[in-house]
Amino acid sequence: MLNHSSRLSAHHTASPQLAHEDIRRYSRQLMLDCIDHDGQLNLARSHAVIVGLGGLGSLTARYLAGAGVGNITLIDGDTVDISNLQRQISYNEMHLGELKAKSLYNELRKVNSQLNIKFRSVFADSNNLPTLISSAGCVLDCTDNVTIRKQINLTTFRASIPLFIAAASGLTWQALNLPQNSANCGCYECLVSHVAVREDCVSQGILGPVVGMAACHQATQALLFLAQGFNANIKWGHYVNAHAGLGTLQSFKLPPSSSCEVCQ
């Protein structure tokens, strides 16, 4: 079977067109000006790397696959635990003990068999990240601790690869889009340098839908970017802070910090 990208070009090599079945599959989003025909073709050609396949990554991956992102790389070395099922909705009891990356790969293949999906059952670190993200059109940081988030920020900045960050804890979710090539925009290091950030869901607790809201925001931002590139109507370098209980959402500009060791 041809994969998504080659199936598009096989029909019309001079001017690629969507196949009839793709028009049916993606009909609801093709109606949107922010996607339309050309954006859908861009999605099919794009490559998103998702680091971390927990509450954030398992859901963002599902949305990207559903929307037709042609090349998706799933990265996580963890296995599915029963405590994950409360919020990591792509997994179920059949997956307990399995590697998340392989389980999610199998589930996404059922959603959209046309895509080129790869998985790596490894924990991302400073050594393997440069290779893991080297061909990415964008990276989605779906991890759960500051140490690896800093490494992802550093690696994407050095490679000038746009980075979509989301995080959640308790009833709070937060997000940040970073172009990683702009002098006007800070980076994750500017935000967290010298700050002791509360680490993860294990110590702080999390309500399932709250991390889902973060993932939905993150997937939306990434899809709009992958469809329209830097012409997409999304905000770069603004930190979103939302409280799911109160229904409030704030957005703050993140300027570069003059003392940042990554972006300055």
Partner 1 sequence: MTQININVNNQPMSVISPISLSELIALKQLNDEGTAVAKNAAIISKQEWPTTYLSDNDTVDIFTLVAGG
Q: Does 183 bind partner 1 (CB under 8 A)?
A: no
How many residues lie near partner 1 (CB under 8 A)?
48
How do strand 47-51 and strand 238-243 relate by DSSP bridges?
A: unpaired
Query: Minimal distance in Å, beta carbon 145 to partner 1?
Result: 6
Q: Does 190 bind partner 1 (CB under 8 A)?
A: yes
Q: Does 252 bind partner 1 (CB under 8 A)?
A: yes
Tokens 């905000």 — which residue? Answer: 235
Q: Does 149 bind partner 1 (CB under 8 A)?
A: yes
Q: Are 242 and 207 in contact (CB under 8 A)?
A: no
The number of residues making up the chain comes to 264
Contacts of 71 (CB under 8 A, 6+ apart): 5, 46, 47, 48, 115, 116, 117, 118
CB nearer to partner 1: give 43 or 262. Answer: 262
Structure tokens at 53: 């396949």
Q: Does 191 bind partner 1 (CB under 8 A)?
A: yes
Q: Does 193 bind partner 1 (CB under 8 A)?
A: yes
Q: Does 169 bind partner 1 (CB under 8 A)?
A: yes
Q: Are 154 and 127 in contact (CB under 8 A)?
A: no
Q: Does 195 bind partner 1 (CB under 8 A)?
A: yes
At residue 173, φ and ψ (nearest 5 deg) are -130, 150
Q: Does 204 bind partner 1 (CB under 8 A)?
A: yes
**CA-to-CA distance for 194 and 69, rounded, in angstroms?**
37
Which residue in 48, 101, 115, 142 binds partner 1 (CB under 8 A)?
A: 142
Q: Does 64 bind partner 1 (CB under 8 A)?
A: no
Query: Minimal distance in Å, beta carbon 259 to partner 1?
Result: 5
CB nearer to partner 1: give 115 or 142. Answer: 142
**CA-to-CA distance for 40 and 26, rounded, in angstroms?**
8
**CA-to-CA distance for 174 and 180, rounded, in angstroms?**
18
Structure tokens at 219: 């997937």
> Which sign does the torsion angle of CA 80, 176, 171, 29 carry?
negative
Q: Does 254 bind partner 1 (CB under 8 A)?
A: yes
Which residues partner with 173 through β-bridges? 168, 242
CB nearer to partner 1: give 17 or 257. Answer: 257
Q: Which stretch binds partner 1 (CB under 8 A): 37-45, 67-75, 103-111, 162-170?
A: 162-170
Q: Sketch the per residue contact string, 207 through 226, with partner 1: x for CB under 8 A, - otherwise.
A: ----x--x------------
Tokens 């002098």 — which residue? Answer: 183
Q: Does 146 bind partner 1 (CB under 8 A)?
A: yes
Q: Which residues bind partner 1 (CB under 8 A)?
A: 52, 54-57, 142-146, 149, 166-170, 172-174, 186, 190-201, 204, 206, 211, 214, 239, 241, 250-255, 257-260
